[in-house]
Chains A and B, each alone.
Chain A
Amino acid sequence: MNQYIKRIWASLRQDSVVTIINILGTALAIFLIMIMVLMQEVKVLPFSPESNRDRFLIADAFAVEKLDKNGMSAGGLSEFVAKQLYSSLKTPEAVTLFAVNFGTSCLLSADNSNPISVDQKQTDASFWRVFDFDFISGKPYDQAAFNAKQKVLVLSEGVARHLFHSVNVVGRTVEMNYTPYTICGVVHDVSSLASLAYSQIWVPYSTTNIIKNMGGINDMPCNGPFHVVALARSKSDLPKIIQEYKKSAAAFNSQLKSHGMKITDNGRPYGIFDCSLGAFSNQKPDPKIFYIREGLIFLILLLVPAINLSSMTQSRLRRYITEIGIRRAFGCRRSRMLTDIVTENFILTLAAGCIGLLFCYLFTYFNSDLVFANITDYFFNSNGHHSVNFSLLFSPTVFLFALLFCFLLNLLSSIIPAWQASRTNIVNALNGRTR
């Protein structure tokens, strides 16, 4: 090990320009690759208030078809359907229904001030069990409050500060769309990267007229604004819940048959990964297309620098050709030669990879809005608020990915030059000739 580092140090001193170029090239590749990895990982890695992502089953849409194929309606779920299909499930720890109010503004004012537009999510009481919000003061609304249609709401720190210049506002009154509501809790601002939980205010959907706005075929209120998230007790429960859901879907389908309809869920509910692929409501997400696309991009991001580095590694190895000749003359095996060169290169790649990863972290932390820019950003009043916390960036998965890509890049860039160098004829090598 020591020997490798000595050699790298020597080459750094002898060929500083080329070694630096080598490190820069590798760091650049790892930097870009890791940013791509992070862009996908924030969609699946757990962080508050979605710390239980790996135990989520998500139903963001479903479709009803007429049995005679003469009509289809796809979109979110109605309360009726969501309850029929999901609320009856026994295996999950909790099931929440919430309505997404995409792009429609909700007006909020306090003490007769001029109202401001905020993002609103209408939820049930279990919402606060499925998602782990960080309350600064107060507490969420419970089932009793929900059932009693109490006009209470939870708001984010940012909104509280904007309206009251304070976060100690529990018990005070705000007007939401000109209806008075009492504040029952204040939470830390939620990153819009937590797309399921994100909002600026949360209200019990029993207090609004949202369940009246339903669409469907044959007057069956099937589609609506609701999404469902079921929280499993453990990851191993997920298949059990899906089985149970299938039974409840089959029962619902036989009920629908008399109306000449059937439901098509396109494989929903999904785990967090399938959900992150973002399929349209009438489509199934296709992990294959995702893997092919990502694979192709990573291949390009690895291959081009690898060719680059190969060429430089080869030039570098030429300088050591006499040394290689001597080692071979003293009985060093070709395989040993090969592994030595690859290992030496790997240490260099790893060092460069660390630099790349460090830059990736710094860049992501200070430019999270840029890196995680999402197509839906400007639909939010907050224009998308993509803060990430460091715990997410330092997750072991991210490190593993970085290590994997360093290894791949090293292999791609050093195997051919190392192979050629180790096969050089001993006499030629001793003479400093490459052939």
Chain B
Amino acid sequence: MIMNKKLISQIKNEWHSNLWLIVELFFVSVILWFVVDYVYTTMNTYHQPIGFDITHCYNIIYSQLDPSNPNYDPNDTLPENDFKEIISRLRQRSDIEAIGVSSASVPYSTSYIGDELKYDTISRNVRTRQADSGFIRVFRIKGAQGESTEQLVRQFDKTPDGFIVASDFLGPNHPIKLESLIGKRFYFGDSTKVDRLAAIVGRLRNNDYELVGNTSSVIKHLENGVGDDISIRVKASQDNDFKNRFWIYANRSLRVGNVYVSDIQSYQDMRRTVNHPYDIIVRDFMIGAAFLLLNIFLGLLGTFWFRTQRRKSEVALFKALGATNGSVFARQMTEGLLLLTLATIPAILIDLNLAYVGLNTSVDGVTLAPGRFIVAVAITYVLIALMIFFGNLMPARKAMKVQPAEALHEE
């Protein structure tokens, strides 16, 4: 305690150069808090399940021959039959575990169909995923109450006018229990056709960065069995070099009439594509944070280097009175941390204000939540403290090397 008192008066005596440090620490603390808050909330979202299991899953893309193509068959007027033939050929392959056909439904895609779903006085905008039950099987979608994929498939198949809704449909803290609406009649948009709620699945997100609390999803029966996307799940034991093997097969055997398979993509690749823009933003924020931290490191190194030079005799006296190398280092470190604490107090006030007016990252419209705020402030403090530690190492080593006798002799 006495040492700290001494330290405080020392900081006061050197307020001039300390002011620079405090101003810098203050600035960096505020900016770094903003970055930490962003990265923390984003990573939190990123690690939530998206509701789809995409391991060993592939997306098969098909096209139709151009009428100017010499192979074009003008008599082939029913491409949907060609499509169904392709699906049935796929079903014969022993290395494919499940096949799903869907439109605007698959994860990590950019196509989107929106709709309004109404029940009684409740009305919500939803993302409509039109799919067959194979789709549920391919992505191993699970029920909200822990129902297995097969149970879901059975529930979906036995209600032809039924649809599945995701558990976040009503939004948080709604008085009505979603489970109590199973079997009830809903309406899509202005349609007069009744649809019945068949089952509830866990939350479905389109990509790893999509905010929890975005538009909820609905899975509806696909009309006439033709969709934009063919998704397959390959047996885990067969999933090596599958893409190449499949491609050779597809080129030979998956051209029916004017319809042909034009590409196969693994969902892992699609995931990378869709995540990429967000990855870049996170990366840029991290680079910014690293830059700020490096500056703290350099600034502290420079300032403390000067100090140890000027305090040579002080340190010598300190050591002559029995201080160990450890206590010399601890003293310098405490000085740095005290400065950081002094800078952090006003920084927290600014952080609070920024979060209060909502200038930082919004999660479900919330920018200021106690837990998250404390975590972000703490991470910021620890990161800067680490830089102070590293910035201190060299000057402190120099101070530790001071030979009391020599330094005091010069004096």
A residues engaging B (CB < 8 A)? 17-18, 21-22, 24-25, 28-29, 32, 103, 105, 107, 114-115, 117, 149, 177-180, 207-209, 297, 300-301, 303-305, 307-308, 310-312, 314-315, 373-375, 377-379, 434
> What is the bound-complex CA distance between A310 and B21, given in angstroms?
10
> What is the bound-complex CA distance between A308 and B255, given in angstroms?
67
- Given A28-B291, A307-B20, A177-B298 contact (CB < 8 Å): no
- Given A304-B28, A379-B273, A314-B17 contact (CB < 8 Å): yes
Q: Does B299 contact A (CB under 8 A)?
A: yes
Stretch at the interface among B61-69, B118-126, B318-326: B61-69
For B283, the closest partner residue in chain A by CB is A373
- Given A18-B305, A114-B248, A177-B262, A311-B69 contact (CB < 8 Å): no
A105 touches B294 (CB 8 A): no
> What is the bound-complex CA distance between A103 and B301, given in angstroms?
50
For B299, the closest partner residue in chain A by CB is A308
> What is the bound-complex CA distance between A96 and B217, given in angstroms?
42
> What is the bound-complex CA distance between A180 and B69, given in angstroms?
8
B71 touches A312 (CB 8 A): no
Q: Which 8 A-B pairs have the closest CB atoms?
A: A311-B20, A375-B277, A378-B273, A308-B299, A307-B24, A312-B302, A21-B302, A315-B306
For A381, the closest partner residue in chain B by CB is B263
B21, B287, B298, B302 interface centre (most CB from chain A within 10 Å): B302
Q: Across the interface, which residues of A come within 8 angstroms of B248, CB to CB?
A: 114
Q: Does B31 contact A (CB under 8 A)?
A: yes
- Name the distance in Å between B107's Cβ and chain A's nearest Cβ: 15
Q: Does B292 contact A (CB under 8 A)?
A: yes
A378 touches B66 (CB 8 A): no
19 A-B residue pairings within 8 Å (CB atoms):
A17-B301, A18-B306, A25-B295, A25-B299, A25-B302, A28-B298, A29-B295, A177-B66, A179-B69, A209-B66, A209-B68, A308-B302, A311-B20, A312-B306, A314-B16, A314-B17, A314-B20, A315-B303, A374-B280
For B110, the closest partner residue in chain A by CB is A103
Contact partner of A310 (CB less than 8 A), chosen from B20, B273, B295, is B20
Q: Across the interface, which residues of A come within 8 angstroms of B31, CB to CB?
A: 300, 304
A115 touches B251 (CB 8 A): yes
Q: Across the interface, which residues of A come within 8 angstroms of B386, CB to CB?
A: none
B276 touches A305 (CB 8 A): no
Q: Across the interface, which residues of B come within 8 angstroms of A114, CB to CB?
A: 247-248, 251
For A307, the closest partner residue in chain B by CB is B24
> What is the bound-complex CA distance between A107 and B63, given in angstroms?
11
> What is the bound-complex CA distance between A308 and B276, given in angstroms?
34
- Given A115-B251, A308-B24, A375-B276, A208-B263 contact (CB < 8 Å): no
> What is the bound-complex CA distance between A30 and B71, given in angstroms?
59
**Interface residues contributed by chain B, number (CB under 8 Å):** 47
B292 touches A18 (CB 8 A): no
Q: Across the interface, which residues of B come within 8 angstroms of A315, CB to CB?
A: 17, 302-303, 306
> What is the bound-complex CA distance between A303 and B27, given in angstroms?
9
Q: Across the interface, which residues of A come within 8 angstroms of B401, CB to CB?
A: none
- Name the distance in Å between B268's Cβ and chain A's nearest Cβ: 12
- Name the distance in Å between A300's Cβ and chain B's nearest Cβ: 6
Q: Does B365 contact A (CB under 8 A)?
A: no
Q: Across the interface, which residues of B come within 8 angstroms of A21, CB to CB?
A: 298, 301-302, 305
For A304, the closest partner residue in chain B by CB is B295
For B291, the closest partner residue in chain A by CB is A32
For B277, the closest partner residue in chain A by CB is A375
B298 touches A375 (CB 8 A): no
> What is the bound-complex CA distance between A313 and B17, given in angstroms?
11
A307 touches B66 (CB 8 A): no
> What is the bound-complex CA distance between A18 and B67, given in angstroms?
74
Using A179-B70, A209-B66 as known contacts, list a sample of 4 further A-B pairs with CB atoms less than 8 Å apart, ordered by residue number in A: A304-B24, A314-B16, A314-B17, A378-B273
> What is the bound-complex CA distance between A398 and B255, given in angstroms?
53
> What is the bound-complex CA distance between A25 and B295, given in angstroms?
7
Q: Across the interface, which residues of A come within 8 angstroms of B292, CB to CB?
A: 304
Q: Does B260 contact A (CB under 8 A)?
A: yes
Q: Across the interface, which residues of B come within 8 angstroms of A300, CB to CB?
A: 31, 288
Digit string of B276-319 for contact with A (CB within 8 Å is 1, else 0)? 11001001000110011011001101110110000000000000
Q: Does B272 contact A (CB under 8 A)?
A: yes
Contact partner of A312 (CB less than 8 A), chosen from B269, B280, B303, is B303
> What is the bound-complex CA distance between A313 and B64, given in angstroms?
70
A375 touches B272 (CB 8 A): no
- Name the distance in Å between A139's Cβ and chain B's nearest Cβ: 24
- Given A28-B294, A114-B247, A178-B69 contact (CB < 8 Å): yes
- Name the distance in Å between B149's Cβ and chain A's nearest Cβ: 29
For B69, the closest partner residue in chain A by CB is A179
Q: Does B23 contact A (CB under 8 A)?
A: yes
Q: Across the interface, which residues of A come within 8 angstroms of B306, CB to CB?
A: 18, 312, 315
For B274, the closest partner residue in chain A by CB is A378
B21 touches A311 (CB 8 A): yes
Q: Across the interface, which residues of A come within 8 angstroms of B294, CB to CB?
A: 28
- Given A114-B251, A375-B280, A307-B27 contact (CB < 8 Å): yes
Q: Across the interface, which residues of B come within 8 angstroms of A22, CB to CB?
A: 302
> What is the bound-complex CA distance between A117 and B67, given in angstroms?
21
- Given A22-B302, A115-B251, A300-B31, A308-B295 contact (CB < 8 Å): yes
Q: Across the interface, which residues of A come within 8 angstroms of B305, CB to CB?
A: 17-18, 21
Q: Across the interface, which residues of A come within 8 angstroms of B70, CB to CB?
A: 179-180
Contact partner of B299 (CB less than 8 A), chosen from A17, A103, A311, is A311
A25 touches B298 (CB 8 A): yes
Q: Across the interface, which residues of A come within 8 angstroms of B287, CB to CB?
A: 32
> What is the bound-complex CA distance between A25 and B303, given in angstroms?
13
- Name the distance in Å between A111's Cβ and chain B's nearest Cβ: 14
Q: Across the interface, which residues of A come within 8 angstroms of B272, CB to CB?
A: 378
Interface positions, chain B 1-37, Cβ under 8 Å from A, are 16-17, 20-21, 23-24, 27-28, 31
- Name the distance in Å between A182's Cβ and chain B's nearest Cβ: 14
Q: Across the interface, which residues of B come within 8 angstroms of A177, CB to CB?
A: 63, 65-66, 69, 262
